[in-house]
Amino acid sequence: MDNCIFCKIINQEIPSYKIYEDEVVYAFLDISQVTPGHTLIVPKKHAQDIFEYDEALASEVFARVPKIAKALQAAYPEMQGLNIINNNKEVAYQTVFHSHIHLIPRYSQHDDFSMHFGNHTDQYNPELLSAIAKRIQAQFEA
- Residue 37 zone, left/alpha/beta (φ > 0; ψ -120 to 50; rest): left
20 forms bridges with which residues in the sheet?
A: 27
Cα torsion angle, 96, 88, 45, 105, sign = positive
Other Cβ atoms within 10 Å of 119 Cβ, number: 9
- 100 assigned to active site: yes
| Helix, strand, coil percentages, rounded to 5, for the chain | 35, 20, 45
Q: Which of 38, 46, 100, 102 is catalytic?
A: 100
Catalytically active residues are: 100
